[in-house]
Structure 1
């Protein structure tokens, strides 16, 4: 119970990343880092975005008495091609581990390093409520009617994802009998609520062609405290015959200009086989080749970003007069 209480406090007091993901094209970068989920919206046509970072952590297995130090780098290359709703991405991680296990009264050290994962995927947004659902017109006769809760705000944007996991050479991170190539699919939803709140859900079926497929659910709640600073809480459940766990992540992200973001994050789990913790830091950068005169679709997140930028511009004269 002591360990569980400590971890609950860790989740709520170590702040984590900006996972709010971008609708089609917007004026400022939106990154999936450093959470595990991806949003429903693409980066935008002719936008090239890199997201990467480094992490360090430890796994301690209470039954095996094994102690593993972990360090690695993760990366994602996201490209908007052909049209706004389509994104092609490559995600992966390179990881190195040093494990100490007591054998015969002596501590024995084992090391391994390789690409822990690589996935080439395609994401396509199939439904944007801001585009597909006609917004309510203001009621000129009733303030109460205008303030009433609208059920249609619960309808999320929806995207689908399909990818190919691949591993080259003799990879120690492959389980015995695991294929070097396997499919990955995900259903992605994203709610953008007033007050700068975003809820992203990923339902994932991974390595379903293998004997031990993995199913996961990721739920990420994001809040933008200012136009430049945001944080979130994330819960991930993993189900598999090989490895099952519940993970919590939290952290913050800082936007520098329109095209650069920095982030820090933390991770814990809620069991001791193994007991896990991890800290990470990274950045996201985009090269924006989106045509200036190209029509910007009125997607939910894009409209929110443009409105926010407009409000900031209107505040500047007031600040100069003070």
Structure 2
């Protein structure tokens, strides 16, 4: 593991290209993470309340309550680097129906709480503004390019924090534990974007029965834009662990209020009864944009913007929810 980590750290300086966008890029309303960062000196808050209800038929219990999921994101040093603090706090009522008299009690704690950093390793659009048409071949200009199937790729490394006697986590675990994640993003034409995440949480943790308490999660999010302000999405989340396993589905959308504010909503459900799951959430994302383009010295000795001469409406901008990258206006370049 240490060898792999060293190789990753050594490879980071080799990937130097920008990704700041004029419009907020949020990971809401789904739970997947975009491959792209918010940009240097951009502070972003993403949060929203939710309602949750579960009914476990074989074990004869049900839960009902709500909570809030939240994230704070900050870009620093390089355009590809982002610090993330995120989590979910839930308060609900647990009802045991195994006897003729219902037994109820309240629960509240963090279901998840983590801090880490994400880094963009590969961006297929980093040189899009440098591409020129082939003056000698119509076929070369209009043929399908297989390179467009290569996604943007980011890695995440961080730590989970779990409190003692937490009803939402495996029994007997507490403290910090490692978390790693791989994120990919395909930006297709006509406003379609595909996000894929693969994560391993609580690595090396053991529960009170000395069983592995880690979990593996994989998420697929497909989004599509409608006009300049509206987007819709569908998402699948798979969770595998000794403590809890599920296949969750989400549907929802978002509305761009301004270049720094986005509103969203989504519904979550599954297709099993161990337990059945239903959730409804509303949320918002807001950014404080302190980003400034770096200046470099031109041959005449005067400073000039490093992005001067670049077309900012090319595929060098990145969106989890977005329009056709060839035609989308600058004011609607979303990455939710």
**TM-score bracket for the superposition, by shorter chain length:** 0.7 to 0.9
Hey, what does 1:81 align to over in structure 2?
Answer: 76
2:323 pairs with 1:308: no
In 1, the alpha carbon distance for the partners of 2:330 and 2:268 equals 36
Structure 1 position 70, deviation (Å): 2.4
Question: In the alignment, which of 14, 20, 24 is matched to residue 29 of structure 1?
Answer: 24
TM (norm. structure 1) is 0.83
Change (3 A) 1:292 1:141: closer
Aligned residues: 290
Hey, what does 1:238 align to over in structure 2?
Answer: 239
Structure 1 position 147, deviation (Å): 2.8
2:216 pairs with 1:215: yes
Task: After TM superposition, list the pairs within 5 Å mapping 1:188-199 onto structure 2.
Answer: 188-199=183-194
Change (3 A) 1:311 1:44: closer
Calculate the aligned-residue CA RMSD, in Å: 2.4
The residue matched to 2:39 in structure 1 has which SS?
A: coil
Change (3 A) 1:292 1:254: same
Hey, what does 2:285 align to over in structure 1?
Answer: 284
Which stretch of the first structure deviates more once superposed, 242-251 or 23-32? 23-32
Change (3 A) 1:64 1:310: closer
- Which structure ranks higher in relative contact order (CA pairs < 8 Å, sequence separation ≥ 6)? 1
Given that 2:201 and 2:214 are in contact with CA atoms closer than 8 Å, whether structure 1 keeps it comes out as yes
TM (norm. structure 2) is 0.80
Task: After TM superposition, list the pairs within 5 Å mapping 1:178-197 onto structure 2.
Answer: 178-197=173-192
2:254 pairs with 1:253: yes
Structure 1 position 292, deviation (Å): 5.1
The residue matched to 1:152 in structure 2 has which SS?
A: helix
Per-residue CA deviation, residues 293-322 of structure 1 (Å, 9 max, x unaligned), is 66459784527879733599xxxxxxxxxx
Which stretch of the first structure deviates more once superposed, 100-109 or 186-195? 100-109
The residue matched to 2:32 in structure 1 has which SS?
A: coil
The residue matched to 1:171 in structure 2 has which SS?
A: coil
The residue matched to 1:153 in structure 2 has which SS?
A: helix
Structure 1 position 139, deviation (Å): 3.7
Question: In the alignment, which of 66, 72, 80 is matched to residue 71 of structure 1?
Answer: 66
In 1, the alpha carbon distance for the partners of 2:95 and 2:163 equals 27
Hey, what does 2:123 align to over in structure 1?
Answer: 128
Given that 1:26 and 1:306 are in contact with CA atoms closer than 8 Å, whether structure 2 keeps it comes out as no
Structure 2: any 5+ residue segments left out of the alignment? 1-17, 206-211, 296-305, 319-323
Which stretch of the first structure deviates more once superposed, 256-265 or 94-103? 94-103
Given that 2:71 and 2:87 are in contact with CA atoms closer than 8 Å, whether structure 1 keeps it comes out as yes
Structure 1 position 146, deviation (Å): 2.8
In 2, the alpha carbon distance for the partners of 1:261 and 1:62 equals 38
Question: In the alignment, which of 129, 133, 140 is matched to residue 138 of structure 1?
Answer: 133
Per-residue CA deviation, residues 176-218 of structure 1 (Å, 9 max, x unaligned), is 1223211110011111111111111001111111122101110
In 2, the alpha carbon distance for the partners of 1:158 and 1:285 equals 25
The residue matched to 2:274 in structure 1 has which SS?
A: coil
Question: In the alignment, which of 103, 107, 126 is matched to residue 108 of structure 1?
Answer: 103
The residue matched to 2:94 in structure 1 has which SS?
A: strand
In 2, the alpha carbon distance for the partners of 1:135 and 1:246 equals 42
The residue matched to 1:146 in structure 2 has which SS?
A: helix
Structure 1: any 5+ residue segments left out of the alignment? 1-22, 313-322
Given that 1:27 and 1:305 are in contact with CA atoms closer than 8 Å, whether structure 2 keeps it comes out as no
Hey, what does 1:267 align to over in structure 2?
Answer: 268
Structure 1 position 94, deviation (Å): 1.1
